[in-house]
Copies of this chain bind each other. A is one copy, B any other.
Amino acid sequence: MKKSITIVDIAKEAGVSVSTVSRVLTGKVKVNEEKRRIVQAVIDKYNFQPNAMARGLINSKSNLIGILTADIRNPYYSTLIVSCEQAATERGYNLLLCNSFSDRLNEFSLLDRLSQQKVDAMILIGGAPDEVETDKEYAEKINALLEETPVIITGNLNGTNCKRVNIDENRAMQLIMDYILSLDGIKSVAFAGGSRRYISNVTLRDCYKNMLEKKGLKYIPEFDVENERYDEIGGREAMDKILSNGKVPDVVIAVNDFTAVGILKSIHEHNLRVPEDISVVSFDDTYIASLVTPQLTSVGYNYWEFGEKIISTAIKLIDKREVPEEIFIEPKLIIRNSCKTE
């Protein structure tokens, strides 16, 4: 590997001083047009890329945004991260990606690494910020970080004042409920999957219960089944449990698309049909929703907007501009074929 070309080499070849080269590079100070042309020509000739580390050292700015997520294999996360990456790229930032696999120790050491890289901001998606009970040590860690670096989260992190970008869960549940109850002959609504250990799930379940009562339907505890796993297996387990006492709900709300897939399978195995016997709705509208048969009616979000809001909040914070404590993302219902409509 050759040693890479530097601003000094460019200056030499262009016959100017390094500061002049620097000036044409940054473009902030006027340079004689003729000189500018010559310098630019040399830059282009070598496709010279100024060393970001040297630049960063001077402005205390790495142009890096660290993003810590639970597991990028989950389509919800990967979709969100692609949006973030896009928004960041457009604004001249690069993304440093870390997966914690929801392991606390991992998260700690990854946070240290991000701060070692002097990322300009950190974004925490999933993992600890999702939990209802913020672990004290974690909050302290984040607070220490906040002294030096803006931290944006999805979820909430009690005891810290990270800025938050979140889905309006209440609105999401409301969209689902309004839709469900607009269908004919709905008497019972089940909610399958998810755990009250996670903040968003508490919001969802509370809203589910409230709306049920407001609409004059009975809340049936056996139809409200939690499950720690947010995947297909979790969905199947939850649905098996719901159907285990012989009663069949008219609709089941799945905590996410993966869970819905398990629910679909469980229903199938019980020799019932979707949507003829049971309707199914879910959250997130990942591509899974349109992959399965029947295609799922699901509450989705504008992921581009979601990622954009996260990144623009981060950059505002980097630029020391004001941002609201919490920004909400508006959900929207995507109607497909998993609910009985006639």
Contact = CB atoms under 8 A, between A and B. Distances in A.
Interface residues of A, number: 57
A89 interface: yes
A270 interface: no
A291 interface: yes
A284 B60 CA distance: 44
Interface in A111-144: 112-113, 115-118, 144
Interface string A16-60: 000000000000000000000000000000010111111011001
Nearest to A4: B148
A54 B56 CA distance: 9
B51 A118 contact: yes
A95 B94 contact: no
Interface stretch (A74-82, A160-168, A192-200): A74-82
Contact of A99 (B73, B85, B110, B117): B85
Contacts of A287: 73
B47 A116 contact: no
A302 interface: no
Nearest to A145: B47
A99 B116 contact: no
B52 A118 contact: yes
B51 A57 contact: yes
A106 to B, nearest CB: 9
B82 A115 contact: no
Given A115-B49, A268-B293, A72 B82 contact: yes
A112 B82 contact: no
B1 A149 contact: yes
Given A82-B99, A148-B4, A53 B50 contact: no
4 interchain residue pairs of minimum CB distance:
A49-B116, A53-B53, A97-B97, A53-B56
21 contacts: A1-B148, A2-B147, A4-B60, A4-B148, A49-B116, A51-B57, A51-B118, A52-B117, A57-B57, A63-B117, A72-B82, A73-B287, A75-B75, A85-B97, A94-B113, A95-B96, A95-B98, A96-B97, A232-B291, A268-B293, A288-B291
Given A1-B149, A73-B75, 13 more contacts: A2-B148, A50-B116, A73-B82, A85-B97, A86-B99, A89-B98, A94-B98, A94-B113, A96-B97, A97-B97, A232-B290, A232-B291, A268-B293
Interface of A: 1-4, 47, 49-54, 56-57, 60, 62-64, 71-73, 75, 78-79, 81-82, 85-86, 89, 94-99, 110, 112-113, 115-118, 144, 147-150, 232, 261, 265, 268, 287-288, 290-293, 320
